[in-house]
Amino acid sequence: MEQLTLPASHQVQGNITLPGSKSISNRTLLLAALSEGATEIRDLLASDDTSRMLEALQTLGVKLENFAENAWRVTGCGGNFPNKKAEIFLGNAGTAFRPLTAVLALAGGDYTLSGVPRMHERPIGDLVDALKQAGADIQYLANSGFPPLKIAAPNIDLSKSIKIRGDVSSQFLTALLMALPLTKQKATIEVVGELISKPYIEITLNLMAKFGVNVQRDGWQRFTIPADSLYISPKQIFVEGDASSASYFLAAGAIGGNVRVEGLGENSIQGDVKFTDALAIMGGEISYGENHITANKAAKIKTIDLDCNHIPDAAMTLAIVALFAQGTTTLRNIASWRVKETDRIAAMATELRKVGAIVEEGADYIKITPPAQLTPNAVIDTYDDHRMAMCFSLVSLGGVPITINDPKCVNKTFPDYFAQFASIVK
Ligand X SMILES: O=C(O)C1=C[C@@H](OP(=O)(O)O)[C@@H](O)[C@H](O)C1
Ligand Y SMILES: C=C(OP(=O)(O)O)C(=O)O
Annotated binding site for 3-phosphoshikimate: 22-23, 27, 169-171, 197, 313, 340
Pattern 5-44, ligand X, x by CB under 6 A? ------------------x---------------------
CA distance 379 to 42: 38
Q: For residues 233 and 37, is the Cβ–Cβ distance under 8 A? A: yes
Q: Exactly one of 200, 275, 365, 421 binds ligand X (CB under 6 A); which one?
A: 200
Report in angstroms how near the CB of residue 26 gets to ligand Y at its nearest.
8
DSSP string computed for 261-313: EES--TT-S-GGGGHHHHHHHTT-EEEE-SSEEEEE--SS----EEE-TT-TT
Residues 6+ apart with CB under 8 A from 218: none
Nearest CA to 266 out of 245, 248, 286 is that of 286
Residue 392: which region, alpha, beta or left (left: phi > 0; alpha: psi -120 to 50)? alpha
Rule CB under 6 A: say whether 28 interacts with ligand Y: no
Rule CB under 6 A: say whether 313 interacts with ligand Y. Answer: yes
147-176 binders of ligand X (CB under 6 A): 169-171, 174
Minimum CB distance to ligand Y, residue 355 (Å): 21
What CA–CA distance (Å, rounded) separates 285 from 276? 9
Closest CB 413 distance from ligand Y, rounded Å? 6
Out of 387, 390, 405, 425, the only residue in the binding site for ligand Y (CB under 6 A) is 387
DSSP summary character for residue 136? -
Q: Per rule CB under 6 A, is residue 94 in the interface with ligand Y?
A: yes
Binding region for ligand Y (CB under 6 A) out of 54-62, 87-95, 173-181, 212-220? 87-95
Q: Does 95 bind ligand Y (CB under 6 A)?
A: yes
User: Catalytic residues, which ones?
Assistant: 313
Give the number of other CB atoms < 10 A from CB of residue 40.
18
CA-closest candidate to residue 346, choices 323, 333, 362, 322: 362
311 touching ligand Y, by CB under 6 A? no
CB of 325 to ligand X, least distance (A): 25
Question: What does the binding site for ligand X look like in residue numbers (CB under 6 A)?
Answer: 23, 94-95, 169-171, 174, 196-197, 200, 312-313, 336
Question: What does the binding site for ligand Y look like in residue numbers (CB under 6 A)?
Answer: 92-95, 313, 340-341, 387, 413
